[in-house]
Each structure stands twice: as C-alpha cells, then as structure tokens.
Amino acid sequence: MIGATFGGWEIVLIAVSLSFIAFWTWMIIDCAIHETSTGTKVAWLLVIIFGWIIGAPLYYFVRKIPRYFAAKPAK
C-alpha cells in the first residue's frame, strides 16, 4: 500500500500522543528552570523522564500547582 489512510481513531490517538509529548516536554523544561536545589532538580527530572506517563502528571500536581498558588498574591 503506497498511501496511508487514517480513520477517526488513528487521528485521535495521534492527537493525544502529541499532546502528551508536549505536556511531558513542558514539565521537563519547567523542572529544569524552576527547581532551585540541584538534588531535587535531578530527582524530579529522573522521575519525569523515566516515569513518563506517571512522572509528568505527578510533577505537575505535586510541584507545579502548589508553586503557582504559593507565588500568587493574596487578595
């Protein structure tokens, strides 16, 4: 078969995969920029990189969201 045809499920799977890769990359960059301690930075980078599906969301909920709310000024 010369040309590939994509159905609905393939397109959804590609979109979800690309979205997760973008999220994973965002968490790696965020960790590399915002973690201050070298030991913590290395540990979280290892969790994100080798944990993949679990590591990136884990970092997001455990480190990124609390850091966002801690930096937000009180009204």
Domain range for 23: 16-70
DSSP letter string, 20-67: HHHHHHHHHHHHHHH--SHHHHHHHHHHHHHHTTTHHHHHIIIIIHHH
| Residue at 23 is within a domain | yes
Condensed to tens digits (0 to 9), the pLDDT of residues 33-72 reads: 999 899 999 999 999 999 989 999 999 999 988 888 887 7
| Residue at 42 is within a domain | yes
Tally of structural domains, the chain:
1
| Residue at 10 is within a domain | no
| Residue at 29 is within a domain | yes
| Residue at 9 is within a domain | no
Task: Report the predicted TM-score, pTM, of the whole model to 2 decimal places.
Answer: 0.81
